[in-house]
Structure 1
């Protein structure tokens, strides 16, 4: 898999093979304090990749394919870091991911773009070729 992540109008390419873990970056604006994080992916309907509120995961609306495969890089979300760890990636993880954070100081949800927009596409060949 190739993972394309856009960061501040630049494209960052991460190479991953099925079974690897990847980190999708999400940082709140100006490193604000984040109370909640919501990761979604196109095509999941009303289900989430991950929803973290009040210091805990909210599993009720999580898509089954992500159960026990996702975590926050820092559950305290210090310095605005709401980056997602996606374990054991597969072709089924292809899609565009979006990170929304609730910023305490602003009392509002914000879409973190473009830093958290990530798309998976299948690679041609294998790693190292």
Structure 2
């Protein structure tokens, strides 16, 4: 028996002696669409009704802060992201049934993103985790432009306005320079010949 096989053997033997088994992890992914101002439910359910130890709702771009954290039969508000305070909840009375769907109130466009639902359940001599990913897209009602499109159109308008102003300034500068050069190269005007006046002899007879 080589070293690698021996290590694996002793590892399996220890698990058998302690009566433990590796935790099972299942994954799934779903898409949800909502409009600003709506209340939306992000679905998350365990495959069975075994006791739920903890529920972690997070979003991939929020770092270490949670959307919602439930453990020890209570909500942990200390590590919750400020933008979700008083806006999220779990469906009342459904946790014991394995339904830990997230209720998100008054949806805004900044709620867009990929949410992770991680549920820990207790099993005999082990612990099981269920992980689901929900992609939330927030779109405006029909007939209203998307905020992203609004931003893009606004930025484009600013760019066009700046370009027009710069073009006008360049045209004025070119015109002024042309006038200066034209004045510089213009030949000097010839001096006008002085007018000669012939005095009239009053005594002259015609």
TM-score between both structures, scaled by the size of structure 2:
0.50
The aligned counterpart of 2:127 is 108
The aligned counterpart of 2:98 is 80
Distance 1:97 1:110 in 2: 16
| Structure 2 unaligned residues grouped into runs of 5+ | 1-27, 144-206
Distance 2:94 2:33 in 1: 28
Offset of 1:121 from its aligned partner?
2.5
RMSD over equivalenced CA pairs, Å: 2.5
Change (3 A) 1:95 1:15: closer
The aligned counterpart of 1:3 is none
Does the 8 Å CA contact 1:74/1:81 hold for their aligned counterparts? no
User: For structure 1, which segment, 118-127 or 54-63, has the greater mean C-alpha deviation from structure 2 after superposition?
Assistant: 118-127
Does the 8 Å CA contact 1:44/1:63 hold for their aligned counterparts? yes
Give the paired residue count: 116
SS of residue matched to 1:30: coil
Distance 1:70 1:111 in 2: 20
Candidates 20, 30, 34, aligned match of 2:48: 30
Distance 2:101 2:107 in 1: 16
Distance 2:98 2:39 in 1: 22
Candidates 90, 112, 120, aligned match of 2:136: 120
Candidates 11, 15, 21, aligned match of 2:39: 21
Flag the structure with higher strand content: 1
**Bigger radius of gyration, 1 or 2?**
2
1:69-103 per-residue CA deviation (whole Å, 9 max, x = no partner) reads 00001356122111110000010000000101110
Distance 2:141 2:110 in 1: 18
Flag the structure with higher helix content: 2
| Structure 1 unaligned residues grouped into runs of 5+ | 1-7
TM-score between both structures, scaled by the size of structure 1:
0.77
